[in-house]
Amino acid sequence: MTTRAEGELLTRVGPGTPMGKMLREYWIPAALSSELTANGPPIRLMLLGEQLIAFRDGKGRVGVLDHRCPHRCASLFFGKNESEGLRCAYHGWKFDVAGNCLDMPNVPKHQGFPNRITAKAYPAVERYGLIWTYMGERKEMPPLPMFEAVMIEDERERNQFMVQRECNYLQALEGDIDTSHLGFLHMGGVEAEDAEPGNLGVYALSNRAPEYHVADTDWGTMYSAYRPGAPGEIYWRFAHFMFPFWTIPPDGHFRDHVIARAWVPMDDNHTMFVHVAWKKNAPGLRRMKDGSPIVGMAPVLPSMYVPNDSSWFGRWRLTASKDNDYLMNRDLQMRNVSYTGIEGVHVQDQAITESMGSIVDHGLENLAISDLMISRTRRRMLRALQAHGEGIVPPGVDNPETYQGARGGDFASSASLDWLRAYSDEMRASSNPTGALRIAAE
């Protein structure tokens, strides 16, 4: 069980907190590249409890700065983005993407000291449609992450989007490593015999109480939920937690399931979900046997968002929210057409994790064997926190290639195979669109 004290360690992410310090060792996906235009307006970013602004200068370079001008602490959000930097609206002081002061126009030149003034700036880089920032203290930054899904170069083959969630990052993340809720929250209204024949996902409906294997890995933790499949076979669903806040869910056929999802803490009470995937991913179970879509299983679509605004929490919010009960349709729920009456897999997850409160009280939980991956992951994170406090570099920071041994998804194999051997065999048979997949050791 997780104590309240341990819950505090795991969930508090602001400056100076143990988890906040550890998270700052990693590169963090801060925004989509498409959110910033050259010489365009800056945007507000809330990351790890810090109020930041991001902008793109006239040369296409991205800056991530503390929003406070180092002169009089006015917000640089109101500044004018010029060709080489951002000019504060208050007195015209201008700063480049590295925080260097370029101009102090309200001070006589012979009394100016721009070379002694810097705005607090975090390094920022772009890769394959995402803007990353490093908020740690290292003078030599660690290498960029090497998750398979974030290395898809061709933008025509990338599926990327963000969704804000109004709760702590940990309870949001844990939804991705909780496999048994699939047969209830998302598909509780579907019987196995009514689902698409031939799709392996029907085994998750015919047996909604799987057994589990769970293990620590170099990148975090992994599990496989398993059930009987066809005669002589086992149906497997593999998924991963990857430091510091990434997951690979099992919802899709393993061999073509190239995906990674980040649960980025904006502050203790808000999370930005970052989804990156290969567009050729094989989807999980989505249709009934007559070919119609399973009610409630819609993906996140552009039409589901409210327009972004410029507030600290104004980006990537869905229309369905706690303020309107996530557009729940009680009639569909009562008639068992939809188990929840809520449309959309992500919206269903959001409703549940936000309903726990902004930070769930772990002291009230009663975990079961179905929560084995969750309890194992918390233990893994707590050990990493302790080690980091003793000066040990967290997992994956200096060896990001370790993440390339992680792939999630479902498949069936001979019942005679050990789970790790089944995983290794399936890795060998998998597609490798980025060339980054690293075959797991037997």
Q: Find out whether 135 and 147 touch, Cβ atoms under 8 Å.
A: no
**Are residue 219 and residue 289 in the same domain, yes or no?**
yes
Q: Of 164, 112, 439, which Cα lies nearest the Cα of 321?
A: 164
**Are residue 159 and residue 110 in the same domain, yes or no?**
no
In a domain, 118, yes or no: yes
Q: Of 122, 126, 124, which Cα lies nearest the Cα of 50?
A: 122
In a domain, 5, yes or no: no
Tell me which residue range forms the domain holding 81: 27-141
Instruction: Output the domain CATH number for residue 52.
Output: 2.102.10.10
Supply the pLDDT for residue 44.
98
Residues of the chain with pLDDT under 70: 439-442
**Are residue 189 and residue 43 in the same domain, yes or no?**
no
Supply the pLDDT for residue 441.
47
Domain end residue (candidates: 141, 170, 197): 141
For residue 140, with 0-12 CB atoms within 10 Å meaning exposed, 13-18 middle and 19 or more buried, which class applies?
A: exposed
Q: Find out whether 65 and 73 touch, Cβ atoms under 8 Å.
A: no
In 131-259, which ranges are continuous DSSP H helix?
Answer: 169-174, 202-206
**Are residue 118 and residue 207 in the same domain, yes or no?**
no
For residue 36, with 0-12 CB atoms within 10 Å meaning exposed, 13-18 middle and 19 or more buried, which class applies?
A: buried
Domain end residue (candidates: 115, 141, 167): 141
Q: In whole angstroms, what is the distance from residue 364 CA to residue 383 CA? A: 22
In a domain, 281, yes or no: yes
Q: Give Cα 441 distance to the centre of its chain.
A: 26
**Are residue 366 and residue 413 in the same domain, yes or no?**
yes
**Are residue 219 and residue 312 in the same domain, yes or no?**
yes
In terms of C-beta distances under 8 Å and separation of at least 24 residues, what long-range contacts does 5-12 make, across chains too?
A: 6/362, 6/378, 6/382, 7/359, 7/360, 7/361, 7/362, 7/363, 9/382, 9/385, 10/170, 10/378, 10/381, 10/382, 10/385, 11/168, 11/169, 11/170, 11/268, 11/359, 12/268
**Are residue 134 and residue 170 in the same domain, yes or no?**
no
Q: Of 277, 282, 279, 254, which Cα lies nearest the Cα of 427?
A: 254
**Are residue 170 and residue 133 in the same domain, yes or no?**
no
In a domain, 34, yes or no: yes
Number of domains in the chain: 2
In a domain, 442, yes or no: no
**Are residue 198 and residue 280 in the same domain, yes or no?**
yes
DSSP-assigned letter for residue 296:
T
Q: Find out whether 359 and 269 touch, Cβ atoms under 8 Å.
A: yes
Domain end residue (candidates: 141, 169, 191): 141
Supply the pLDDT for residue 442.
44
Residue 192: other Cβ atoms inside 10 A: 17
**Are residue 169 and residue 134 in the same domain, yes or no?**
no
Beta bridge mates, 29: 132
**Are residue 197 and residue 343 in the same domain, yes or no?**
yes
In a domain, 198, yes or no: yes
Q: What angle do CA 315, 52, 25 make, to 5 degrees?
A: 105
Instruction: Output the domain CATH number for residue 335.
Output: 3.90.380
In a domain, 21, yes or no: no
**Are residue 107 and residue 224 in the same domain, yes or no?**
no
In a domain, 434, yes or no: no
**């024949």: which residue's tokens?**
197
pTM to 2 decimals? 0.95
